[in-house]
Amino acid sequence: MLAVQNLEVVYEDVILVLKGVSLAVPDGAVVALLGGNGAGKTTVLRAITGLLDVHRGSVTKGSVTLDGEPIHALDAPAIVAAGIGQVMEGRRIFSEFTVDENLRVGGHRAPRAEIPARLDRIYDLFPVLAERRRSVAGYLSGGEQQMLAIGRAMMAEPRVLLLDEPSLGLAPLVVQRIRDLIVDINRAGTSVLLVEQNANMALSIADHGYILETGKVVMDKPAAELREDEDVREFYLGLRQEGAASFRDVKHYKRRKRWLS
Amino acid sequence: MDLLLPGLLRGVGIGSLYALLAVSFVIIYRATTVVNFAQPALMILGSYFTALFAVQLGLPFPLAVLLAMAALAVVGAVTERVAMRPLVGQPVFSAAMVTVGVFIVLTMVANRLIGPGIIVVGDPWGIEFLRVGSLTVFQSDVARTVLGLGAVGAVGLFLKRSRVGLAMRATSLDQETALAQGVDVGRMFSLAWAISAALAGLAGMLVGTGSGGLEATAALIALKALPVIILGGIDSIEGAVVAGLLVGVAEALTRVYQPLYAPWLGANFDVVVPYVILMATLMVRPYGLFGTPEVERV
Ligand SMILES: Nc1ncnc2c1ncn2[C@@H]1O[C@H](COP(=O)(O)OP(=O)(O)O)[C@@H](O)[C@H]1O
Ligand SMILES: [Mg+2]
C-alpha cells in the first residue's frame, strides 16, 4: 500500500501548499484525487515521486510510505525503482523521439533482457502505438500522446501508477478510451492513483475518492458515496441546478456549512 | 590546380580537429545547456597525458592515447561532480562563469605538470607524408581525419543506439521527465563531461603531434571551436562536424590562394576567415546551420 500521512509541502521555503494531506492507495485499488485548479494535486504527486526538488519545493512534515517503508527521502530514480510510476501533467512525451524511443526511456531501469517483451506488451495494450512505433512522437494526436505517456510509465512495470489529469484537453470519446485503458491496467494488477478535475470520469472507475481544496483533504469517501453526494454532484460533476448563485458563492457557502464546520 | 587538392586535404585534416573540439563543446552543452570554457585546458591536459604515457613511460602509442583519454574522462567526471553539480538549477550564465574558473584552475595544474618547456607528445607521424601518385598527403592530416571523425562517429552512434545514450538525449530534452522515468540525471551530466573531456584529450594529442612539440599556449587553438559551434548550431553534432570541416577547408584554401589573388588583405588573413564565414551565416541563419531556434546563448 502507498500511504501519504499528514504531508506538508512548502515551495521556495515560504509558500505553504499542502497543509497536512493524508491518503492511501491500497494494493489493487483505483483511488481518485479530485480538486480544482491550484488545489495541490500535482504537488501531492511530486512529493510522492521525489520531483519537488526540481520545483524548489520540499516536504516539511509528514511521510510517504510504500508498504510501511518511508520513501520521501529517496531521489526520483530510486522511487521509480521502488515501483512507483507516473504520467505527468501535460503528458510530457519526448516529442523529438520516436514512439519506440519514448517507450525505451520508460524502460531505462528495467533489465535489458526484458525490454523486447515489455515493448510487446505495451504494443498489445496500445495497438495505435504499435502502428506508429517509428513515427516521431510529436506528430501523434493528443490522445495517442497520452497513451504513449501511459505506455512509457508502464514500461517500468510499476506497482502503483500515478496519473495527473490524463483526460485534460481530450475529446469525450478519447477520454472514454483512456478510462478503459486505466481499468485494464488496474485489472492486470497495478494500483492507480488518478488525479483529475474530471470527477465524472475518475469516480466512474475509482474505488475511493479524496477531494482536495487549497492543500487540505476536505472529503474522503468511497467513490460510490461521492457519486451520490449532493455537493460533489453539484460542484464536481457539473450537475448544478439552474438558478443557483455563481459557482464560487455557492461553493463557499456550502463549504462553510458542510465541510469546515 | 595542383594547389587545390593539397589545400583541400590540409583543410579536411585541420577541419576534423575543429569538428572534434566543437563536438566536445556540444556534448556538454546538450546535457547541461552550459558552454564549457574549460575545454582548452582539458585539451592541453590530453596532450600532457599522452606525452606522459607515450614518451615518459614508453607505452605503445595507441595504448597511451587510450589511457590519456581515460584519464581525461576521469578529470571531466570529477570536475562535473565537484564544480558543476552544486550549480544545477542556477542560471546557466553563472555555470558558464564557473567553467571559466575551472579553466583557470586546470590551466594552472597543466602548467605545473608541464613546466616551462614544451610537451613532446611522442610523434608517430611527425612531418611524414604519404605519396599517392603526384599527390603528397601529410600523415598528421590523415590521423586527424580518421581519429577525429572516427571518435565523433563513435560518440554519435553511442548516443543514437545505446540505452545510456538514449537516456542522455532524454535528459537533454527534458530533465524532469527523464528523472520521472528513473534516469539518474546527475550521472548523465557526469557522463557528458567524461565523454567531452575524453574527446578534448584526443584533440590534445592530435594538436601535439605532427608539429614537433607543443607549448601550453597551444590551448588557444581550442577557441577556434567557438566560431565553429556557433556556425554549426551549438546543440547539433552534425552541425559541429559540417561547420568544422567548412572552417578548416576555408582556412586552408585561404592560406593557399589569398597571397596569390588578394595579397592586399595582408598576412595571416586565414585566421580571420572563420569569423567572416560566421558573420555571413548568422545574417541568413541566426541559429547557425543546424541549430534549434530556442537555444539560449551564453
Ligand atoms: N514551483 C512552485 N513554486 C511556487 N508555487 C507553486 C509551485 N508549483 C505550484 N505552486 C502553487 O501550489 C499550488 C498548488 O499547485 P498544484 O499542485 O500544481 O495544483 P493542482 O495540480 O491541483 O492544480 C498553486 O497555488 C500553485 O500556484
Ligand atoms: Mg496539476
Average pLDDT over residues A141-156: 97
For the whole model, what pTM was predicted? 0.88
- Write down the pLDDT at residue B130: 80
Higher pLDDT, A229 or A217: A217
Q: How confident is the model at residue A236 (pLDDT cuts 50, 70, 90)?
A: low
Name the grid cell of A105: 526511456
For ligand 1, the distance from its centroid to the CA atom of residue A40, given in whole angstroms, is: 6
- Are A54 and B176 a contacting pair at CB < 8 A? yes
CA distances from B160 to A101, B106, B182, B220 (A): 10, 31, 19, 31
Is the pLDDT at B217 greater than 90, yes or no?
A: no
CB pairs under 8 A between A and B: 59
- Write down the pLDDT at residue B168: 96
Using CB atoms and an 8 Å cut-off, which of residues 77-136 of chain B contact chain A?
89
Atom 18, ligand 1: residue with shortest CA distance: A42
Is ligand 1 within 6 A of the CB of residue A16? no
- Write down the pLDDT at residue A180: 96
Query: What is the CATH T-level fold of the domain B4-284, as seen in this structure?
Result: ABC transporter involved in vitamin B12 uptake, BtuC (1.10.3470)
- Write down the pLDDT at residue A228: 86
- Using a CB-CB cut-off of 8 Å, the residues of chain B touching A109 are 182
By DSSP bridging, strand A69-70 and strand A57-66 are: antiparallel
- Write down the pLDDT at residue B269: 82
Q: How confident is the model at residue B211 (pLDDT cuts 50, 70, 90)?
A: low
Q: Render pLDDT for A50-108 as a digit per residue (tens, 0 to 9).
A: 999 999 999 999 999 999 999 999 999 999 999 999 999 999 999 999 999 999 999 99
Is ligand 1 within 6 A of the CB of residue A97? no
Q: How far apart are CA A120 and CA A62, in angstroms?
A: 40
- Name, in order, each residue with C-beta under 8 angstroms of B24's C-beta and a sequence gap of 6 or more: B39, B42, B196, B197, B199, B200, B203, B225
- Are A76 and B180 a contacting pair at CB < 8 A? yes
- Name, in order, each residue with C-beta under 8 angstroms of B103's C-beta and a sequence gap of 6 or more: B37, B38, B39, B40, B41
Q: Render pLDDT for B184-197 as a digit per residue (tens, 0 to 9).
A: 999 999 999 999 99
Q: How confident is the model at residue B276 (pLDDT cuts 50, 70, 90)?
A: confident
Is the pLDDT at B137 greater than 60, yes or no?
A: yes
- Segments in B1-60 forming alpha helices (H): 4-32, 39-51
Of A56, A101, A156, the CB nearest to B182: A156
Q: How confident is the model at residue B213 (pLDDT cuts 50, 70, 90)?
A: low
Atom 24, ligand 1: residue with shortest CA distance: A38
Q: How confident is the model at residue B210 (pLDDT cuts 50, 70, 90)?
A: low
Q: How confident is the model at residue B295 (pLDDT cuts 50, 70, 90)?
A: low
Q: How far apart are CA B234 and CA B227, in angstroms?
A: 10
A92 in contact with chain B, both atoms CB, cutoff 8 A: yes
Q: How confident is the model at residue B2 (pLDDT cuts 50, 70, 90)?
A: confident
For ligand 1, the distance from its centroid to the CA atom of residue A139, given in whole angstroms, is: 29
Of A77, A88, A153, the CB nearest to B183: A77
Nearest CA to A217 among A29, A31, A1?
A31
**In the block, which residue shows the cell 515521486?**
A49
Q: Render pLDDT for B14-47 as a digit per residue (tens, 0 to 9).
A: 999 999 999 999 999 999 989 999 999 999 999 9
